[in-house]
Chains A and B, each alone.
Chain A
Amino acid sequence: MRIVDTKGQHCPAPIIAAKKALKEASMGEKFKVLTDNQTSLDNLCRFLKDNKAEFSVEETKGVWTLTITKKTAEMQPKQTDEYCDKEIPHFTRGNFIIVFSSDKMGEGDSELGYLLMTNFINAIKDFDELPKKMIFYNNGVKLGASDSPVFESLREIEKMGVDLLFCATCAKYYSLEEEIRVGSLGNMFEIAQVMASANNILKP
């Protein structure tokens, strides 16, 4: 059985630990949370009661053991997810877009250019602020093909909530319409409009 030891910790740390364990547990699974602090115990009990988890408490030598059984699959009502998705982005997005007009970064040796571009795209995930949108045109659309070295990275970035927009004309020109399995295809009007309304445009 999983044991989450929060001895020596003050709120909210024990709540965070308990909530994480509760989220990770499967239905009906039991786990234990330990605390040596009366206030944390009270708060944990209230938290578990409000979230409809089944639990019991035992005390030995100033340490309380909560034995918890996950009872409801949905920790929060369904609306919460909608609420999360709509109103609260999970990642902070800045007021800038990134434009990819090539599959290489900078002028020079093309092998180096590919490598730099791969590194650049892999770094985006770790930005403090994610871009609002990423736009791909001309050779840039090749980055979104399913055999591109950055394909997985782009999918991850998309999952983090960034819109990826590929130039439809370019995809057609390079016969990549079926190959681009990430983001969406758009016409020049959409691309121009996104660029015109962006505060800052980054172009690697």
Chain B
Amino acid sequence: MKIDLLQMVENGGCSAKISPGQLEEILKYLPLPVDPNILVSIDTHDDAGVYKINDELALVFTIDFFPPVCSDPYEFGMIAAANAISDIYAMGGDPVIALNIGMFPSSKLPAEAYAEILKGGFDKASEAGVRIIGGHTIDDIPPKYGLAVVGYVHPGKIITNACARPGESLILTKPVGTGIILAGQRLGISNEKDVNEAKKQMKLLNRTGADVMKKFNIRAATDITGFGLAGHTLKMAKASRVSITLNMRKVPLIENVYKLADQGCIPGAAFRNLDYADADTSYEENLDYNLKMIAFDAQTSGGLLMSVPQEKTDNVLAELKSVGLLDSSVIGSVATKAEKYLYLSN
């Protein structure tokens, strides 16, 4: 029997996240933990928490899981693992161990499907040098899978979303558009080549990009996932107390993403993200509508967005391309805080 996980979901991948605005509402009732060893917590909406063990070592800790983004269970496992591990890379950490977290409708799908998902997760984790040392599964529909990951980082070398400085350039390492391609796939209007490209990008570990960041001593970065390019950039601008301009025409796109957006293939998650960011965002008067909505497209296992000092930009870009991240592009710039946090321009 051919298993098609997509038959079971309406919103796959990071599109299934709760809206960022709603999440902030909920989290504000939660007291922030007080402990001098907590170096990064949820107050800056960063990719992962960081806890200091001693002057040489801190733990980066994150969790991510979601419903299927593709039909094949093995591929889904790989994508979910790459996406979860990405948060460690975005913080400058080295991922070490992980736990599986899963939900699986055991009466609706054959057990082999779950075995395949876990195998995909295991293989991707192994590629990242991560040992999976346990897990937890609930019987539930639709299936969901991901990892809780622990990484190591030197307390002095943490990369956060709160360190972007005026004058720096923003570099993105993967093309954007996975949400739109996947929505189009569900409606049968994405072509197979573009779907395969999206899957390839989602499976790609952010390790190579992270190695380049470390080599050039980059201090500010985040990875692009469910809140979309604009949503995560806004979080970076807020945490760093700066204004960021994104030049949308410079943003690398998966082929045909623009065409799909122009057909109106704009997933619900993009509208949710737009809603969240609207009050803090200024749009250039003639901003192309499709590019605007692409900026808010929820990404699954998206690229790293790093804020790079001007004098290093060319070298970082060249290095990213030489390690195989050929779509890497300078897509924006950081300035002192103006009226809005985020400026979207053509």
Contact = CB atoms under 8 A, between A and B. Distances in A.
Do A and B form a real pair? yes
A88 interface: yes
Given A47-B266, A92-B191, A84 B289 contact: no
B289 A50 contact: yes
Contact of B271 (A17, A43, A129): A43
Contacts of B10: 10
B274 A46 contact: yes
Contacts of B193: 92, 128-129
A12 B289 contact: no
B288 A39 contact: no
How large, as a class, is the contact surface on chain B?
20 to 34
B202 to A, nearest CB: 19
B208 interface: no
Interface stretch (B44-52, B98-106, B141-149, B254-262): B254-262
Interface residues of A, number: 31
B331 to A, nearest CB: 14
Nearest to B11: A10
B286 A12 contact: no
Interface stretch (A72-80, A159-167, A178-186): A72-80
Contact of B288 (A10, A18, A80): A80
B292 A84 contact: no
A76 B271 CA distance: 19
Interface in B94-153: none
Interface string B287-322: 011101000000000000000000000000000000
A42 B271 CA distance: 9
B271 A13 contact: no
B270 to A, nearest CB: 8
A64 to B, nearest CB: 16
A43 B290 contact: no
B268 interface: yes
Contact of A16 (B192, B264, B271): B264
Contact of A19 (B249, B255, B264, B268): B264
B209 interface: no
Interface in B200-244: none
A88 B264 contact: no
A18 B267 CA distance: 14
Given A19-B263, A76-B290, A77-B288, A88 B268 contact: no
B259 A77 contact: no
A88 B256 contact: yes
A128 B191 contact: yes
Contact of B187 (A16, A19, A46, A84): A16
A170 B10 CA distance: 58
A134 B10 CA distance: 43
A35 B10 CA distance: 18
Contacts of A47: 264, 266
Contacts of A10: 10, 268
A105 interface: no
B267 A79 contact: no
Nearest to A75: B289
A127 B187 CA distance: 21
A11 interface: yes
Contacts of B267: 11-12
Nearest to A40: B268
Interface in A4-49: 10-13, 15-20, 39-40, 42-43, 46-47
Given A46-B274, A79-B286, 16 more contacts: A10-B10, A11-B183, A11-B271, A12-B268, A16-B189, A16-B263, A16-B264, A40-B268, A43-B268, A75-B289, A76-B262, A76-B288, A79-B346, A84-B258, A88-B255, A88-B259
19 contacts: A12-B267, A15-B264, A16-B265, A17-B264, A18-B264, A39-B268, A39-B271, A42-B271, A43-B268, A46-B274, A50-B289, A76-B288, A79-B288, A79-B346, A83-B249, A83-B258, A83-B288, A87-B249, A128-B191
